[in-house]
Every structure is written in structure tokens, then in C-alpha cells.
Amino acid sequence: MEANYAKAFRIVRAAHGFQQSELAELLDISPSQLSLIESGKRQPSLRVVEQLASAISVPTALVTLLASTKEQMDTTSDESFNELANSLLRLLLAASDNHQHKLRFDG
């Protein structure tokens, strides 16, 4: 079973408040390519996943983990999977806060 990068990219974009065009520019891909990734019609290359992780200052493994399905995680309960998903979202939001603070400080 393939990872759900569509979900991961949408969550990251929403958590950071990016428009599709803004995130596409950060990733050096076209907005239409990002749209295809977010709709699940195309899988991102490893380079694009790495660029996403770099753009939001998190390890690539976190993006991959966010893209994992419950079956891939081999969890025994929905509660465990939901707890993990919520923890990842909190990490993304914390990274977003740090990134926004850095942008304000550097800018």
C-alpha cells in the first residue's frame, strides 16, 4: 500500500497557512503539479518530499510518517492512530510557529 502524500501535503499546507501557489513556489514545482499531488493523482518525487520537509523545517521522515496510513502503521486501535496523527499535527504547528517567528525576525 502506497503512502498518502496527498493527505500529508494538504495537512502541511493548511497547518502553515500556505496557498497552493505559495507552497508550489517554495517547492520549485508548478501549482498544477502540486494540485495533482494533493488530489492523489500523482505521487511526489523524493526530491519534492525532501523540499517540503526543508521548507517547513522538519525531518523528511516526519512528512513520510504523516503520509502513512493506519494499515502501514500497524496500529492496533483507531485511538492510537488518532493520537499519533494529533501529535504530528502539533509538531507541524509548532514548526509553523517557529518558522513564522523566524521569518518575522529575519525580515
Q: Residue 95: its pLDDT value, please?
A: 65
Residues 97, 51, 37: CA angle, nearest 5 degrees = 100
pLDDT for res 86: 72
Nearest alpha carbon to residue 39 among 29, 27, 31: 31
Distance CA 98, CA 68 (A): 25
* Euclidean distance between CA atoms 16 and 76, whole angstroms: 30
- Domain of residue 38 covers 5-106
Amino acid identity, residue 90?
R
Closest Cα to residue 24, out of 101, 42, 72? Answer: 42
Mean pLDDT to the nearest integer, 78-85? 69
With 0.85 as the threshold, say if the pTM is over it.
Answer: no
Q: What is the predicted pLDDT for the residue at 67?
A: 87
The arithmetic mean of pLDDT across residues 5-23, rounded, is: 91
Total domains in the fold of the chain:
1
Residue 32: which CATH number? 1.10.260.40
pLDDT for res 101: 43
Higher pLDDT residue, 82 or 12?
12
Write the pLDDT tens digit of every residue in 47-75. Answer: 999 999 898 888 888 888 888 876 776 65
